[in-house]
Copies of this chain bind each other. A is one copy, B any other.
Amino acid sequence: MEDQFIKAAGLIGDATRAAIMWTLLDGRAFTATELSIAVNTSPQNISMHLGKLLEANLLSVEKQGRHKYYRFSSKEVAYVVEAMANLIPKPEISSKKKIENYPPVKYCRTCYDHLAGKIGVALADSLLEQKIIIEKNNTFEISPEGEKWFSDFGVNIGDAKKQKRIFLKPCLDWSERRYHIAGSVGTLLLNKMLEQDWIRRTKDSRAIIITGKGEKEMLKNFKIVV
């Protein structure tokens, strides 16, 4: 068991492979060539490293024509990379939001069903600012005004409250170092936005894209410039 652990650690521990993992952390699938550019090394070298990661089942591939798309093989792998990214000391957060600089939605252990990444964080910020949700010793609560807002927005919180599932909780997004909204409320918001075609899921990625309509609405409702 120990040797397997050491092997896994060694695989991620190499500089080039670590850079690959770092790149893949944004949830998308990358081709070998893309990775070789992102990581700044030769195609042969990338091929060699991808081979090792593949063999160890840390990555999986999907062939499409002459392209091969590489991604994390499981969420467990993403967790490792994520946990590692969390070791990096928090950078100073500038007072003004500069979400423009941020990369696309990043992998998050719960981002399968709620909004993570730059939009997720900006959204949480906005809801907090508008006092729709309130932070109370590390948890989120919905304010009385918030209740109204959600109902206006077409999200039925009542149903969510009845569910066994965690209602509303802050989830730390590694790339933003800020909290975004998880729990059933997070899911409801996400679904509403998909339903309204503000955002769309992409085919082979955990990332989402924002529609033209979404852009306008994000600005209007949350003052978020995408």
Which A residues have a C-beta under 8 Å from some C-beta of B? 1-2, 4-6, 8-15, 18-19, 21-22, 58, 76-77, 79-80, 82-89, 91, 139, 164, 166
Contacts and interface: CB of A to CB of B under 8 A. Distances in A.
6 contacts: A5-B88, A9-B12, A9-B13, A9-B21, A12-B13, A58-B87
Given A1-B88, A77-B87, A164-B139, A15 B6 contact: yes
A79 to B, nearest CB: 5
A18 B22 contact: no
Main secondary structure on A side of the interface with B: helix
A217 B83 CA distance: 38
Contacts of A82: 83
B22 A2 contact: yes
A138 to B, nearest CB: 10
Given A2-B19, A13-B13, A8 B77 contact: no
A4 B15 CA distance: 11
A221 B140 CA distance: 38
Contacts of A139: 164
A208 B81 CA distance: 30
Contacts of A76: 83, 86-87
B9 A18 contact: yes
Nearest to A11: B13
Given A1-B88, A4-B89, 5 more contacts: A10-B14, A10-B18, A11-B13, A12-B13, A80-B84
Contacts of A19: 2, 6
- Identify the interface centre among A21, A22, A166: most chain B CB within 10 Å of its CB: A22
A9 B10 CA distance: 9
B85 A83 contact: no
